[in-house]
Chain A
Amino acid sequence: MTNATTKTILDNGLTVVMKEMHHAPVATFMVWYRVGSRNEKPGNTGAAHWVEHMMFKGTPTIPAGEHDRTVAREGGRFNAFTWLDFTAYYETLPSDRIELGLHMESDRMINAIMHRDEIESERTVIISERNMYENQPLFHLREELSAAAFRVHPYHHETIGDAADLATMTRDDLYGFYRRHYAPNNAIAVAVGDFDSAEMLRKIEHYFGDLQPSQPPDPITRTEPPQKGERRVTVKGPGNTAYLIAAYKAPAATDPDYYALAVLNSAFAGGGSLGFFGSSTTNKSSRLYKALVNSELAAGVSAGATPTIDPYLYTITTVARPDRTLAEVEAALDAEIARLSMEPITQAELDKAHKRARVEFIMSGESITNQAQLLGMSEVVAGDYTWYETALERVGAVTLADIERVRDRYLRSDQRTIGRYVPQNGAV
């Protein structure tokens, strides 16, 4: 029932990835732009995310607010998201209405108006969004942690942007950012679902084929220099719950070490191991859970890497129980990481990780929206949708020797940043 994935590049540079899935009368159309907070500089942090909001604020033919109403009227779902490396938009619709998604995405790829009044109205909405995050202790901690871990590279700042920039960015800043990054040669169209690929390609050519390519955006030149020693940040705030994050420098998605680190994580920490969307399993049989949670030091622990274009972070996040200190949690974490060398991951643990990866892979591909997200993300972060499609082969090829190699290379205290949220008991 499922055909092979195909990839075509149109004359104007638009990458088109298609996969037929006929289990339900539904289709998803996505457009991914190779732009995220990675492409921002001090002064315009948050621009990629703000531009994403403005894509719902009207073109000459589709007025503000009409996009979401039109999709809803046809029984569809839509959303958009901005992350370090990408900005993506999707419509999931009954398959006989999917052309609507193509029409609207081609329109806003070049025709967004970004009227000054709409920019100002959205400025307060985005500041409100940032305030919502600021109400969460872990947001503050992650923001400071990224800033400490990346001194030079733009992974330094959060995708929402710094409050100072949200207050001062102008319409010209945002419109310029849009024009530089939104063009067919900087985008990937992904269609997944109940359609005929040849017919879908004709439709995509019809809606996108005439759009003009632009100058490629500037390459990212601010490479992060090697880290030379552990860094530590402390954030104080309301509440009486303490959090600890250990963030280790991790390889890029295309690095051969990426999948080995993912398998190490699965064997060590459990949970969703591959960094894929929509997968979640418990991790109560993992070494890390037993050491931190079963020992009654922490109320929960999760860990994982994120596939990214440039080297990013492998993070372990824990929440301490009220009667325990962060020092106790950190000592237990250090002991468990040290144990990985004294008692390396076993073949039985590796076999379990392989089986879990197989299930995660199958489950993550069940929904067409998920499939489209995984294919699009792979194209952006690895330049190749097969990065996801071959995940099982790559995971299966990881050996115990590979796991020991990535353990020694990445799980080093001088390559990590420790973040501590110290509660001030204010709100309890």
Chain B
Amino acid sequence: MALVMNINCREAVTLIGGFLDGTLARRERRRLEKHVAACDACREYLEQMRAIIAVTGRVGPEDLSDDALEVLMDLYDTYRRDLDESS
């Protein structure tokens, strides 16, 4: 926990979103990097946000009910039938 390069932890946390997106201006990025290098808590926060992004990318789609699938497969069957009839 520290006040480094004129930003406090609350401001650092706000900048981390832009930092992860690569959209921070160079000066802000450097201020944040210096803060994070000196502040264990904000470094932990940054690592956690990276981990959250990684885990979120692996959760996969929600489960689809059999009923919902069946409704949509009926659309496919109708489409194939119409295709066969018109050919």
A and B form one complex: no
Interface residues of A (CB under 8 A from B): none
